[in-house]
Structure 1
Amino acid sequence: MLRPTTLSLFRSFKQPLHHSTRNFSSIRPNVFNSPTRSPLAAFVAKNARTIFTDSSAVVVRPTQAEAWKKFAISAATVAGTVVAVNVFFNRETRDGLTAAEQSYLNDSFKYTGGGLAITAIAARSLFKSGFALRVMSANPWLVLGVSLVGSIGTMMGAMYTPPENTILKHAFWLGFNACQAATLSPLFFVAPAILSRAALYTCGVVGALSYVGATAKSDQFLYMGGPLLAGVAVVALSSLAPMALPLGMRGLAITEAVSLYGGLAVFGGFVLYDTQKILHHARLVQTGAMARDPLKESIGLELDMINIFVRLVQILSMQQRKK
């Protein structure tokens, strides 16, 4: 099952680089002090505001009490989400997971966590090396095409390589996470506080939905596959529409809302679906109907978490700009 990862990432963060470039060198340029400077240079020297001033910067930093208050609110929000989602979706729960189901689910989540850690570390390294700048300045269609080809190719290799071929299967898995890291590296231009909050909210949402899916009395969420695929198609088209169609401001606002909030709903549904799919496959593995392959199961969950995280980063960034 193929899902887009960051179709709207480059549209949201691709900005002209020269608008945010600043020169923080300690050597003052002497072009404005030249006796032969032009009238334009003289005007700029007289009226421009530069960073080369003797006044101290005004920095408003939150107090420790305010920082702890924000952290407590975030933690309470995550905890409330876990309880509310469980009460709403899971009025009736099963007696408990079997040992085989627990083992298969735990191994799948271990691969999911390992893949996300590799992706985050590789994305940070690519960002520090300047790769993110080259990605943002490149043609978005080219970047999208290369990232999709690389991600889909390595994902297919990781999913359909037999578990017995351990080295090749893990090589494809590492390549898949490297492709995700290259695509997500521009996210590090966002403030670290926003990234941290988005990561916390993502863990809370995914943890709550996974718990709901794992403890549901029946496999009711396995029947959501068809509607979720249709939802992914709508989200993908809404993300690509501004790149291909001449939309007005209202059209752009509508497509952005569908991509962000509709994407959150769709990939939240995929967390429920993928969790119950893993448990269903665990029962098939126990009966010998299929081979045990937690690495393959983890890829769907990893894509769900990445998509939810990216959209939360965009939503939190929008809220920060409105303040």
Structure 2
Amino acid sequence: MAFILRRPFAITATIKQAPKASSTTFRAFHSSPLKQNFFPAARPSNPLPATLSKSRNVFQATFRRAYTQQTIPNPTASGAFRQRLLYGVGIFGATVIGINLIFNRETREDGGMPVYERSYLNDTFMHTGLGIGIIAVAARALHMNGWSYRLMAANPWAVLGIGLVGSIGTMWGAMATPPENYVQKYALWGAFNLTQAALLSPLMFLQPALLARAGLYTLGMMGSIAFVGATAKQEKYLYLGAPLLAGVAIVALSGLAPLVVPATAARTLMVTENIWLYGGLAVFGGFTLYDVQKVLHHARMAERGLMKRDAVNESISLELDFINIFIRMVQILGMQQRRK
């Protein structure tokens, strides 16, 4: 049931909150046509063939764009970039130290992580990174083929139903397949990632810089929390499973609120949006901590022969955590830019 609820439901709301990619460059280019006398006109008695005329126009446009885009370096802008970079590094370092001091006061007492735990954790992280990469590449490809337009124009209830069926079906199929049947398992795992890419492809309407920042912040948040989970005492945070399941149910219901609550109830929608946004960050950050410790717990069980090693199943949980945190980061950054 936890996997059913741990899905991003508010792609449309995120796109509405975040700013669209600017089209000023295209408008400026089309509103300032090239002068016809830039090149000597051809003689009327010897007109240029259509191919040569087209080539000349392309050359003119290329030369014009290259000429007008040359700018003088701005030392103020470079200084502001360095300042923002230093701020980002400082915030990330302070977050890692703060999370480590608050949640990781009691570290492992067994002399460090054993080799089998480290190996299983590395395999899980490798599959998680590979799955996220597949989702990103496939989402971009689907967006370029026009899938995002058709998905945004479709009925949201139909998208929700078909998306849930496809996501849950491929996910449970991959998790139920034994690791020995690796062909079927990886095929279902790949289908699961492609399903996520199809549902997340409308995010490609947003600015690439915003998506890159959201991805960087998500990696920083999950990386710091995963470090805490990997270095904390054994099974210290496994008790969070039940409270996190209750929290994700509340977050999922708040994400569905815009589909059932009337638009006139602005205060209620604002409260539910904050729950979905900031409550979701807390809940899925907790799920990251829980999932990392669960991976280590399963590694110890596999070492004792109580279960089989299955890094694919472990990676699915972390992929869902990443997707949910990433979507909320996109919406938060988009809201901040809209306020400026």
Q: Indicate the residue corresponding to 1:36 in structure 2.
A: none
Q: Indicate the residue corresponding to 2:294 in structure 1.
A: 277
- Which range moved further: 181-190 or 168-177? 181-190
Q: Is structure 2 residue 258 aligned with structure 1 residue 256? A: no
Q: Report the AA paired with residue 160 of structure 1.
A: A
From 266, 274, 296, give the equivalent of 2:313.
Answer: 296
- Which range moved further: 170-179 or 72-81? 72-81
Residue 275 of structure 1 deviates from its aligned partner by 0.4
Task: Classify the secondary structure of the residue corresponding to 2:237.
Answer: helix
Task: Classify the secondary structure of the residue corresponding to 1:290.
Answer: coil
Q: Indicate the residue corresponding to 2:128 in structure 1.
A: 112
Q: Indicate the residue corresponding to 1:47 in structure 2.
A: none
Question: Relative contact order: is structure 1 or structure 2 higher (C-alpha 8 Å, sep ≥ 6)?
Answer: 2
Unaligned residue ranges in structure 1 (runs of 5+): 29-55
Residue 27 of structure 1 deviates from its aligned partner by 9.4
Q: Is structure 2 residue 185 aligned with structure 1 residue 169? A: yes
From 233, 236, 256, give the equivalent of 1:240.
Answer: 256
From the superposition, tell whether residues 75 and 5 of structure 1 become closer, same or farther in structure 2 (CA, over 3 Å). Answer: farther
Residue 6 of structure 1 deviates from its aligned partner by 1.3
C-alpha contact (below 8 Å) 2:234/2:293 kept by paired residues: no
d(CA) in 2 for partners of 1:284 and 1:4? 26
Q: Indicate the residue corresponding to 2:225 in structure 1.
A: 209
C-alpha contact (below 8 Å) 1:242/1:252 kept by paired residues: yes
Residue 194 of structure 1 deviates from its aligned partner by 1.3
Q: Indicate the residue corresponding to 2:80 in structure 1.
A: 66
Residue 220 of structure 1 deviates from its aligned partner by 2.0
Q: Is structure 2 residue 13 aligned with structure 1 residue 11? A: yes
The CA deviation string for residues 57-81 of structure 1, in whole angstroms up to 9 with x for no partner, is: 9x9x982222232222222222221
Give the greater-gyration-radius structure (CA): 2
Q: Report the AA paired with residue 13 of structure 1.
A: I
Q: Indicate the residue corresponding to 2:107 in structure 1.
A: 93
The CA deviation string for residues 222-249 of structure 1, in whole angstroms up to 9 with x for no partner, is: 0111110101110010010110122511
d(CA) in 1 for partners of 2:16 and 2:100? 38
Unaligned residue ranges in structure 2 (runs of 5+): 33-67
Taking only the aligned residue pairs, the percentage that are identical comes to 52
C-alpha contact (below 8 Å) 1:14/1:136 kept by paired residues: no
The CA deviation string for residues 26-50 of structure 1, in whole angstroms up to 9 with x for no partner, is: 599xxxxxxxxxxxxxxxxxxxxxx
Q: Is structure 2 residue 79 aligned with structure 1 residue 77? A: no
Q: How much is the aligned-residue C-alpha RMSD, in angstroms?
A: 2.3
TM-score normalised by length of structure 1: 0.85
d(CA) in 1 for partners of 2:234 and 2:310? 23
Q: Is structure 2 residue 309 aligned with structure 1 residue 307? A: no
C-alpha contact (below 8 Å) 1:264/1:308 kept by paired residues: yes
The CA deviation string for residues 268-322 of structure 1, in whole angstroms up to 9 with x for no partner, is: 0000100000000000000000011011111001100110010000011001100
Task: Classify the secondary structure of the residue corresponding to 1:220.
Answer: coil
Written as runs of structure 1 = structure 2, the 5 A alignment for 1:90-169 is: 90-94=104-108, 95-169=111-185
Q: After the TM superposition, which segments of 4 or more aligned residues of structure 1 sit over 6 Å from their partners?
A: 20-23
TM-score normalised by length of structure 2: 0.80
C-alpha contact (below 8 Å) 1:79/1:204 kept by paired residues: no
